[in-house]
Amino acid sequence: MFKSDKIYIIIPAYNEASLIPTVLNDLINNGYKNIIVVDDGSTDNTSGIVKNFNVDLIKHPVNMGPGAAIKTGIDYALLKNAKIMITFDADGQHLAKDIPNLISPIINNQAEITLGNRFINNMSNVPVFKKIILKLGAFLMFLMYGILSSDSHNGLKAISKSAALKINIKSNGWEYCSEIIEEIMLKKIKYIEVPVTVNYSDYSIKKGQKIYNSFYIVSKMFLKWIFG
């Protein structure tokens, strides 16, 4: 059986002081002790609050974006000899109860990466317009990289050490999710999609990716696709 002390939860956080205690309590109460919070240059008291918990805190001196925060978290977890890294949002959208299902295929050597998918079990209360944008994004990913994932921009993922060493995240922003899909395709990494619940609250909708941001992500993806 896999040792739980080799499982690390990576939480990129930017100005999440109000909700991060709930997220950390949920994880700690579910028995997860290796938690890395990457404070991405927050201007509120996120770091101060995180320091009250028994977790590793890494603080970016300036705001770099979720992609850079995830990369920092993964590199730090690898230094700590992590075997599985789970990326987990700080805005309360993800639930600790989904983690066992997410890591199970990696433990059983069925996959090197598992991607959380909010559309498989339809348990998530996804706003209609967001659903349309996510589906269009997924279709675009299929056209560009040939991977048909209906939820390519879900932040809940489990990454094995072997996959983490292969994946090279270069994007600093939200487009890192697309970049991971691209890396999975290019480096032929074994992946499985796992049903997860994404909890939409007024707070998470306000904090999460904006609809207009999707156009920015698409333009950056295209630039990267064309120019490399």
Partner 1 sequence: MHPIYIISIIFIIAVIINIFIKIKDKKLIVNELIFWILIIIALILISVFPDFAVKTAHFFGFKSAFDFFIALSILVIFLFLFNIYKKIRILEEKFTRLIENIAINNSINSSIKNENEINLKSHNDEDKNI
User: Where on the chain is the footprint of partner 1 (CB under 8 A)?
Assistant: 38, 56-62, 64, 68, 71-72, 75-76, 79, 170, 172, 223, 227
Complex with partner 1: residue 38 or 138, whichever CB lies closer: 38
As a residue count, the chain comes to 228
Q: Which is nearer to partner 1, 151 or 175 (CB)?
A: 175
What is the C-alpha separation between 96 and 193, in angstroms, rounded? 17
* 3-class SS letters over 201-228: CHHHHHHCCCHHHHHHHHHHHHHHHHHC
Min dist CB 13 to partner 1, Å, is 13
Nearer to partner 1, 26 or 56 (CB): 56
Structure tokens at 118: 């909010």
The distance of closest approach from Cβ of residue 102 to partner 1 in the complex, given in angstroms and rounded to an integer, is: 25
Distance CA 129, CA 127 (A): 6
Question: Residue 191: which H helix or E strand, with range?
Answer: strand 191-195
**In the bound complex, what is the minimum distance in angstroms from residue 64's beta carbon to partner 1?**
6
Smallest gap from residue 78 Cβ to partner 1 (A): 10
Question: Residue 17 or residue 68: which is nearer to partner 1 going by CB?
Answer: 68
